[in-house]
């Protein structure tokens, strides 16, 4: 049976010549050699590579007196290359007689620890290099499936969610986007009301026209009318020129009134009048200007209660609430929490500049059990902070900075407890064997395939 050759880029110092190439030529790899950063860049633009083998001269990994500045620049260039092409699993080849323990400078250690999949030492051991390159290729293929898994729970509206409440929301959005009437979006702070407004507009017949947004609580009472309706030059002190208001600017498209519950009571009548006759009059103007817009309003305030308190006009409430959408709080979205956490982790760690490569299983359990009073916005801030500040390979519960509820008497399920135990054993075996997959699998009494599967399940990166 013919084995299809896989592309391998061999980035090596010219001093190696064909030495390493001749050792690899019998393997199922199509090998492309580059001796400079520019040659690597040219090859990467012409071919697709899953694995790269980087061999540098011995000077790069030793102290060379007056050559220290040059060496530092070279290491920096390699880091930049690896970072820019992080989808490739890079394997570093160390010159004969060197190991990571022998490095005298921390930069060399960081280069391998933060940017490389693995390392080998020269001269090449054929069995070892074949396993290392094959492992790198296999892990790359597994890694490339992760975005597809994520996309499988991403809706047509660009929002992540596979929970029942989100599926119902997506079905509702498909219906309301087709209708050309006012929508009221209600939900807790941080649940994505603006995302919903954008989704409705982008899937409506008005998508080719502007979506104009105004936060009704962000302006003083004496400015909100000018922001909404505009004004004529000289209509009041400081009005040095004509201003087009947000309503008029949204002509043909959608006006999104965010935090409509914070609109001053005296301004609500002006908005009501517009909704009734679809015309506006700029401050200081005498002309009624017809405007064709769709209104989407959003609030975290209970507008029915506000109506009863006389803080919100009842007639305006019913004008806005032709169609209603309620955004579900994050605590009701089940496994969406984990999907969102992984999505934002990948987003914030995309440049590979941070230490963390994934989550501890205890951290995922904590994310799933947290109440999330700030909803998705709180989750975003939590993950961003953890990625930036963590010094761990895998984000710990302490990195997340969430209440672990140790005093509530909450117990782990048996599955959670087993998961923690399995994960800790795998990490211990990997540490003991120096991340040698074959030896770790042997210690655990399982196959390498089973070990890969468990590492993927528990988000363990090597």
pLDDT 10s digits, 139-178: 777 665 443 343 445 666 888 888 999 999 999 999 999 8
Whether residue 328 contacts residue 166, with contact meaning beta carbons closer than 8 Å, is answered with yes
pLDDT tens digits, one per residue of 240-259: 899 999 999 999 999 999 99
Q: Residue 67 has what DSSP assignment? A: G
For residues 394 and 269, membership in a common domain is answered with no
Query: Could you give the CA distance from residue 277 to residue 272 in angstroms, rounded to a whole number?
Result: 9
Question: Which CATH number covers residue 217?
Answer: 3.40.50.300
Across the range 98-123, mean pLDDT stands at: 72
Question: Which CATH number covers residue 399?
Answer: 1.10.8.60
Q: Is residue 153 part of a domain?
A: no
Q: Token pair for residue 43?
A: 């090859």
Q: Residue 96 has what DSSP assignment? A: T
Overall number of domains in the chain: 3
Band (pLDDT 50/70/90 cuts) for residue 68 is very low
Q: Is residue 1 part of a domain?
A: no
Task: Tell me the DSSP string of 388-450.
Answer: HH--SSEE-HHHHT----TTTT----HHHHHHHHHHHHHHHHHHHTTS-HHHHHHHHTS-HHH
Query: Could you give the CA distance from residue 274 to residue 280 in angstroms, rounded to a whole number?
Result: 6
For residues 374 and 309, membership in a common domain is answered with no
- Of 112, 144, 176, the one marking the end of a domain is 144
Q: Is residue 63 part of a domain?
A: yes
Q: Token pair for residue 381?
A: 């801030």
Query: In this predicted structure, what is the pLDDT of residue 454?
Result: 80
For residues 295 and 432, membership in a common domain is answered with no
For residues 51 and 90, membership in a common domain is answered with yes
Q: Is residue 149 part of a domain?
A: no
Query: In this predicted structure, what is the pLDDT of residue 346?
Result: 87
Full domain range(s) for residue 352: 334-457
In percent, the amount of the chain with pLDDT more than 70 equals 85
Query: In this predicted structure, what is the pLDDT of residue 67?
Result: 38
Q: Does this model's pTM top 0.95? A: no
Query: Could you give the CA distance from residue 117 to residue 58 in angstroms, rounded to a whole number?
Result: 20
Across the range 304-333, mean pLDDT stands at: 94
Across the range 43-63, mean pLDDT stands at: 76
Q: Name the pairing type of β-strands 254-258 and 294-299.
A: parallel
Query: Could you give the CA distance from residue 91 to residue 95 in angstroms, rounded to a whole number?
Result: 13
User: Chain-wide mean pLDDT for the chain?
Assistant: 83
Query: In this predicted structure, what is the pLDDT of residue 352?
Result: 64
For residues 360 and 235, membership in a common domain is answered with no
For residues 139 and 200, membership in a common domain is answered with no
Q: Token pair for residue 376?
A: 């998705």
Q: Is residue 462 part of a domain?
A: no
Between 347 and 351, the higher pLDDT residue = 347
Q: Is residue 114 part of a domain?
A: yes
Query: In this predicted structure, what is the pLDDT of residue 63?
Result: 39
Whether residue 86 contacts residue 357, with contact meaning beta carbons closer than 8 Å, is answered with no
For residues 299 and 344, membership in a common domain is answered with no
- Of 309, 328, 347, the one marking the end of a domain is 328
For residues 140 and 175, membership in a common domain is answered with no
Band (pLDDT 50/70/90 cuts) for residue 22 is confident
Query: In this predicted structure, what is the pLDDT of residue 209?
Result: 94
Across the range 8-25, mean pLDDT stands at: 84
- The long-range contacts involving 263-267, CB below 8 angstroms and separated by at least 24 positions, are 263/216, 263/217, 263/224, 264/221, 264/224, 265/311, 265/312, 265/313, 266/221, 267/221, 267/224, 267/225, 267/228
For residues 304 and 380, membership in a common domain is answered with no
Q: Is residue 181 part of a domain?
A: yes
Q: What share of the chain is helix, strand, coil (3-state, %, to 5)?
A: 50, 15, 35
């Amino acid at each position: 049976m013919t084995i299809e050759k896989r592309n391998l880029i061999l980035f090596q110092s010219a001093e190696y010549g064909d030495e390493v190439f001749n050792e690899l030529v019998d393997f199922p790899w199509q090998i492309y050699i580059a001796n400079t950063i520019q040659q690597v860049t040219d090859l990467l633009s012409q071919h697709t590579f899953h694995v790269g083998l980087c061999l540098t001269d011995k000077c790069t990994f030793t102290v060379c007196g007056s050559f220290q500045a040059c060496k530092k620049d070279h290491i920096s260039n390699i880091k930049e290359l690896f970072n820019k092409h992080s989808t490739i699993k890079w394997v570093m080849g160390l010159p004969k007689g060197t190991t990571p323990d022998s490095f005298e400078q921390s930069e060399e250690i960081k280069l391998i620890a933060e940017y490389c999949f693995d390392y080998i030492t020269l001269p090449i051991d054929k069995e070892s290099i074949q396993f290392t390159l094959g492992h790198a290729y296999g892990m790359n293929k597994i890694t490339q499936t992760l975005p597809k898994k994520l996309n499988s729970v991403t809706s047509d509206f660009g929002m992540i969610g596979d929970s029942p409440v989100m599926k119902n929301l997506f079905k509702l959005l498909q219906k309301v986007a087709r209708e050309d009437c006012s929508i009221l979006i209600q939900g807790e702070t941080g649940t994505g009301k603006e995302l919903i407004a954008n989704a409705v507009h982008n899937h409506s017949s008005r998508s080719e026209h502007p979506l104009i947004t105004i936060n009704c609580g962000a302006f003083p009472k004496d400015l909100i009318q000018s922001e909404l309706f505009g004004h004529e030059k000289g209509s009041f002190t400081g009005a040095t020129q004509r201003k087009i208001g947000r309503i008029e600017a949204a002509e043909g498209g959608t006006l999104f009134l965010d935090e409509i519950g914070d609109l001053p009571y005296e301004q609500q009548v002006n908005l009501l009048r517009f909704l009734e006759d679809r015309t506006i009059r700029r401050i200081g103007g005498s002309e009624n200007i017809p405007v064709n817009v769709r209104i989407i309003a959003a609030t975290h305030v209970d507008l029915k209660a506000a109506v009863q308190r006389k803080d919100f006009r009842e007639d305006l409430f019913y004008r806005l609430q032709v169609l209603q959408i309620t955004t579900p709080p994050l605590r009701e979205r089940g496994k969406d929490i984990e999907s969102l956490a992984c999505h934002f982790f990948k987003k914030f760690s995309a440049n590979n500049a941070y230490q963390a490569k994934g989550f501890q299983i205890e951290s995922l359990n904590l994310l799933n059990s947290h109440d999330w009073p700030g909803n998705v916005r709180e989750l975003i801030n939590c993950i961003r902070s953890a990625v930036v500040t963590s010094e761990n390979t895998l984000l710990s519960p302490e990195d997340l900075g969430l209440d672990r509820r140790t005093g509530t008497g909450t117990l782990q399920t048996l599955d959670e407890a087993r998961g923690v135990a399995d994960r800790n054993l795998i990490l211990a075996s990997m540490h003991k064997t120096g991340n040698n997959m074959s030896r770790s699998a042997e210690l655990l009494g399982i196959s390498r395939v089973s070990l890969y599967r468990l590492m993927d399940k528990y988000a363990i990166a090597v």
